[in-house]
Structure 1
Amino acid sequence: MSQNPMPGGSGDMDEEALKRLLKETFGDALPEGALDGLDLGAIAAQANLPQDPAQLRAAAAQMQQMFMGSGEGPVNWTMAEDLARRAAVGSLQIPGAPGAPAPTGSPGDPDPTPAQVQELREAAQVARLWLDPVLAIDVPAAELAVFSRGTWLHRTLPRWRSLVEPVAAYMAGAIGEAIAAQTAQMGEAVLPGGADPAGMMERIGGTLFAVQYGQAIGTLAREAMGTTDLSLPLGRDGEPALVAANVADLVDENSLDAPAARIFLAAREIAHTALFAAAPWLGKALFSAIDDYARGITLDLDALDEAVRELDLSDPESLQSRRPEDLFVFTRRAAQERALEELATTLALIEAWVDHVTSRALEGKLPQLDALREVLRRRRASGSPAEQMLASTVGIELRPRRVREALSWWESVLATEGIEGREAKWAHPDLLPGSEVLSGTPQAPRPAPEGAGDGAEAVELPADFDAELEKLLREEEGGTDASGDGR
């Protein structure tokens, strides 16, 4: 036993036990001798470590597991995806923890039954037949995939990871710096043995981010109807898919006609898939816009410093219980707000186009069509709990803005240019309206074309234009021409 026990706990833990905790937790990040001469009691108090030796050993094992498998980069993606899978099946719930909401929907993650697969695929066949006459783009021929929640998660995780990686690296570093500021003993002056305290703190920051991210994506798997609910192509190219358990939950929760709801949801998923296949640039542009926005995001560091003061770094459940809004308070520059506005506008145009074409295809054929549309509108307008958690975690709001205005715009295009003209708007982003068009904000005048410097802009109308026009018409009726000779 060490001769330097640290009083205050139930077991008066000695410093050797604390050294073992730190070495087991951080592994090679702690060089030999790095902890010699340190005031480990102060470190333990600062980090809220347990004093009882048994509790300390348990904390070491838990922390070691949390940091295992992080691989390259600061974020422990292995742990994040494991938490996401547990959340998807409804097994991730910490009683009383605000950061881990109770699972929504039906229990567990049941595999789709043969009856559910048959019903959804038959609904998709009907939806294809009804969509085809109202579209000027190809309806995808791929058979509808019917997923469990876990399969939805497996298929979409690669997309999610690529979306959040830019902001994840930044946030891991920011959280690590905030933790380091609260445990100043871990600075260079206290770790003369060559340890990398910045790396340690960044790993802790990456772990905190991974916990929140995993919970958000896993919870979303319990709510998503298909792979395009957010107007993003998250699944495989050209493959529409629905989550059987979540479709059944939507029907039960809203007292919907089940066959009608299945056709309605299949039609929306197929319409989304058809659009992304017909306009390959669209998905790339959406992901690029999210990437650009994420790379410029910043955290309110003062709020983060305050949040980490109460963190118990020895307790994984304590880390999981932190609500995203407690840790991550985002600040946006003007450029970020503009980027978010453009992203929300594009999402609104996609959402409105899908609503527009599916409504035309299904009108007069489905009972409760208006009720079905309203249920989906409310979900998209307010954002599900998982969407809100995702926005709080990564700072990216994936909600459309001005969907009703966008719907009116698509209806006007159809009235004036027809189906072909409507679909032609997706040929290039410049053919789509911007947020100022949908909002009715006056636009700045366009610059005059080159070479028009002394042309049209120099023409002035007479002050009494109506009188001059009437005089000209009388002359025409009298048979006189400009020369006045009557010919």
Structure 2
Amino acid sequence: MSQNPMPPDNSDEQNLRRFLEEVFGGQLPPEALDGVDLSELARQANLPTDPNQLRAAAAQMQHLFDAGGEGPVNWKLGHDLARQTASGAVQIPGAPAVAGSPGDPSPTPQQIQDLREAGNIAALWLDPHVAVDMPAAALDVWSRGTWVHRTLPRWQSITEPVATYMSGAIGDALAAQMQQLPMELPGGDPRTMMERMGGTMFGVQFGHAIGSLAREESGTTDLSLPLGPDGVPALVAANVEDLIRDNELDPSAARIFLAAREIAHTALFAAVPWLPRQLFGAIEDYARGITLDLDALDEMVRGLDMSDPQAMAKAAPDGMFVFTRRESQERALEELATTLALVESWVDHVVSTSLEGKLPGLDAMREVVRRRRASGGPAEQMLASVVGIELRPRRVREALAWWDSVLATEGVEGRDRVWEHPDLLPTAEVLSGRPQAPRTEGESAEAAETAAKTDFDAELEKLLRGEGDADAPKEDEAGRVSGDDPGADGPGSGPGVGDDGDTPSTPAS
């Protein structure tokens, strides 16, 4: 510690000492800061010297550490931030402005009635055009805050595989930085505390992203993932109204169209239980072995403003999360992108088939949805870069053409039978080539056997009718086929059926 008795310096150092003691919850030993130049430490950490600012920063930092909770993501912080973002009550410094109309209004009785009626009509029109059952639950109508609350459990299962590795890597990088400080941190290994800080950073990032999506998504399946409760289709009333107004759509037609998409998604996920598992499994496969650029993270940590609890959000995620992908991760991303494209295109296919000629402006509404999915907001872009959830427009178009071809050759039952097993789904190579309907190995063998039986039966029937009798081969008195030359390499020259190849067959007397 500096021995300079000048009051300003002494006052600043006392304030800094109290700040560090409060941040560490009173666990800092009295001698821990002896010999430490706190002024230099404050300068490196961009800490303020004003006592009020220090007290506020200490209280906020301690609150964030205390609220860390279990797991790689601070979901308490994430949930609170998502809820506030969804309502428009908070704007993270440096983050893109959230979309949508102000606030988080509860659905009005009229909105609930209009959307539920639209859901009933959509289900009625969909039913004859799909081979899966319509959801038993009626269409639910939510606020943005309800969307956050009901989808958060699925977000946890989606994002935690990535965050588990990332928080460990962040903990290693931050701990390495802290070990360079001229002080010993309480609690032994600083990695644990740094992992909690990493969990806080993820809580801020995912919380803001989920809250932003709550202001944009029409329902629970817009990302072609089952985010809501199983078997329950739901629309966000305020976001539906925003979409109608911003794109000048016919209100009644748009409600039926959006309800049909939500119901079709929900019906598919309910009828195909392996599909959600495969989607989430591909995300986990992507997360496994993910490599973080620690040099970029180290650079970010050096400029981290420890006096500002929101500094973790200000640190741009693009600079923080720089990945190198292995071959196995690329395969997982390809599988995920292909499956998402197949889900999205199947829904587009059955909805357009079911609503064709019934709704005005159907093509315009389909284009609005395609454009929104292709561009994606900042939240969707973050999910694509961090978690791997990305819908590729070209692949969706290819998959839509493939579904068209399957419907033309196999009909509704054959088209929807594709979802019976993951092996029946086409690969990205199939989608980009000439579309053709899939067949299982058993179906292919059965088809070949049927063709062989058809040919044999046809030839037998011709013989029984005497067709081609003049040209048919005949046996002579010695049992040889007429026209055979015993010394020639022609039909009948070799051993007969059932012969061992050594002696010619002789007819029984």
Q: Report what 1:465 is aligned to.
A: none
Partner Cα separation in structure 2 for residue 204 and residue 377 of structure 1 = 38
Q: Deviations over 1:313-353 (max 9, x none)?
A: 11023333232112211221111111000001001111111
* 1:255 is aligned to 2:253: no
Per the TM alignment, residue 485 of structure 1 is displaced from its structure 2 partner at its CA by 5.1
Do the aligned residues in 1 keep the contact of 2:2 with 2:35 (CA within 8 Å)? no
* 1:161 is aligned to 2:153: no
Partner Cα separation in structure 1 for residue 361 and residue 254 of structure 2 = 9
1:360-379 mapped onto 2 (5 Å cutoff): 360-379=353-372
2:114 pairs, out of 91, 106, 119, with 119
Do the aligned residues in 1 keep the contact of 2:282 with 2:332 (CA within 8 Å)? yes
Q: For residues 324 and 10 of structure 1, do their structure 2 counterparts lie closer, same or farther at Cα, with a shift above 3 Å needed?
A: farther
Q: Report what 2:53 is aligned to.
A: 55
Q: Which deviates more, 195-204 or 268-277?
A: 195-204
Per the TM alignment, residue 32 of structure 1 is displaced from its structure 2 partner at its CA by 6.1
Aligned length: 447
* 1:399 is aligned to 2:395: no
Q: Report what 1:224 is aligned to.
A: 217
Q: What code does the residue aligned with 1:481 have?
A: A
Partner Cα separation in structure 2 for residue 421 and residue 74 of structure 1 = 44
Q: Report what 2:68 is aligned to.
A: 70
Do the aligned residues in 2 keep the contact of 1:120 with 1:146 (CA within 8 Å)? yes
Do the aligned residues in 2 keep the contact of 1:43 with 1:183 (CA within 8 Å)? no
1:283 pairs, out of 253, 259, 276, with 276
Partner Cα separation in structure 1 for residue 295 and residue 277 of structure 2 = 35
2:406 pairs, out of 409, 413, 416, with 413
Partner Cα separation in structure 2 for residue 365 and residue 5 of structure 1 = 84
TM-score by length of 1: 0.85
Q: What code does the residue aligned with 2:66 have?
A: M
**Percent identity among equivalent residues?**
65
Q: Report what 1:481 is aligned to.
A: 472
Partner Cα separation in structure 1 for residue 210 and residue 316 of structure 2 = 15
Q: What code does the residue aligned with 1:238 have?
A: G
Q: For residues 70 and 183 of structure 1, do their structure 2 counterparts lie closer, same or farther at Cα, with a shift above 3 Å needed?
A: closer
Partner Cα separation in structure 1 for residue 102 and residue 17 of structure 2 = 43
Q: Report what 1:456 is aligned to.
A: none
Per the TM alignment, residue 363 of structure 1 is displaced from its structure 2 partner at its CA by 0.2
Do the aligned residues in 2 keep the contact of 1:177 with 1:201 (CA within 8 Å)? yes
Q: For residues 196 and 440 of structure 1, do their structure 2 counterparts lie closer, same or farther at Cα, with a shift above 3 Å needed?
A: same
SS at structure 1 position matched to 2:100:
coil
Q: Report what 1:471 is aligned to.
A: none
Per the TM alignment, residue 44 of structure 1 is displaced from its structure 2 partner at its CA by 2.0
Q: Which deviates more, 127-136 or 324-333?
A: 324-333
Q: For residues 435 and 276 of structure 1, do their structure 2 counterparts lie closer, same or farther at Cα, with a shift above 3 Å needed?
A: same
Do the aligned residues in 1 keep the contact of 2:140 with 2:233 (CA within 8 Å)? yes
Q: What code does the residue aligned with 1:399 have?
A: L
Partner Cα separation in structure 2 for residue 214 and residue 383 of structure 1 = 18
Per the TM alignment, residue 195 of structure 1 is displaced from its structure 2 partner at its CA by 3.5
Per the TM alignment, residue 35 of structure 1 is displaced from its structure 2 partner at its CA by 3.6
1:18-417 mapped onto 2 (5 Å cutoff): 18-27=16-25, 30=28, 33-94=31-92, 97-99=93-95, 101-186=96-181, 190-191=183-184, 195-392=188-385, 394-400=386-392, 402-417=395-410
Partner Cα separation in structure 1 for residue 280 and residue 351 of structure 2 = 25
Higher-Rg member (1/2): 2
Per the TM alignment, residue 281 of structure 1 is displaced from its structure 2 partner at its CA by 0.9
Q: For residues 195 and 17 of structure 1, do their structure 2 counterparts lie closer, same or farther at Cα, with a shift above 3 Å needed?
A: farther
Q: Which deviates more, 353-362 or 26-35?
A: 26-35
Per the TM alignment, residue 270 of structure 1 is displaced from its structure 2 partner at its CA by 0.4
Partner Cα separation in structure 1 for residue 473 and residue 371 of structure 2 = 66
Q: For residues 207 and 156 of structure 1, do their structure 2 counterparts lie closer, same or farther at Cα, with a shift above 3 Å needed?
A: same
TM-score by length of 2: 0.82
Q: For residues 168 and 29 of structure 1, do their structure 2 counterparts lie closer, same or farther at Cα, with a shift above 3 Å needed?
A: farther
SS at structure 2 position matched to 1:242:
strand
Q: Deviations over 1:283-307 (max 9, x none)?
A: 1111111122122322211111122
Partner Cα separation in structure 2 for residue 10 and residue 263 of structure 1 = 69
Partner Cα separation in structure 2 for residue 376 and residue 327 of structure 1 = 31
SS at structure 2 position matched to 1:316:
coil
Q: Which deviates more, 293-302 or 431-440?
A: 293-302
Per the TM alignment, residue 74 of structure 1 is displaced from its structure 2 partner at its CA by 4.6
Q: Deviations over 1:81-106 (max 9, x none)?
A: 11111111112215xx332x222110
Partner Cα separation in structure 1 for residue 224 and residue 4 of structure 2 = 59
Q: Report what 2:460 is aligned to.
A: none
Per the TM alignment, residue 408 of structure 1 is displaced from its structure 2 partner at its CA by 1.1
Partner Cα separation in structure 1 for residue 17 and residue 222 of structure 2 = 49
Q: Deviations over 1:129-166 (max 9, x none)?
A: 10011111111121110000000000000110121112
Do the aligned residues in 1 keep the contact of 2:81 with 2:208 (CA within 8 Å)? yes
Q: For residues 261 and 185 of structure 1, do their structure 2 counterparts lie closer, same or farther at Cα, with a shift above 3 Å needed?
A: same
Could you list the runs of 5+ residues in structure 2 that have no partner in the other structure? 436-440, 443-466, 475-480, 484-509
RMSD, aligned α-carbons:
2.7
SS at structure 2 position matched to 1:269:
helix
Partner Cα separation in structure 1 for residue 406 and residue 136 of structure 2 = 27
Q: What code does the residue aligned with 1:44 have?
A: A
SS at structure 2 position matched to 1:480:
coil
Q: Which deviates more, 354-363 or 325-334?
A: 325-334
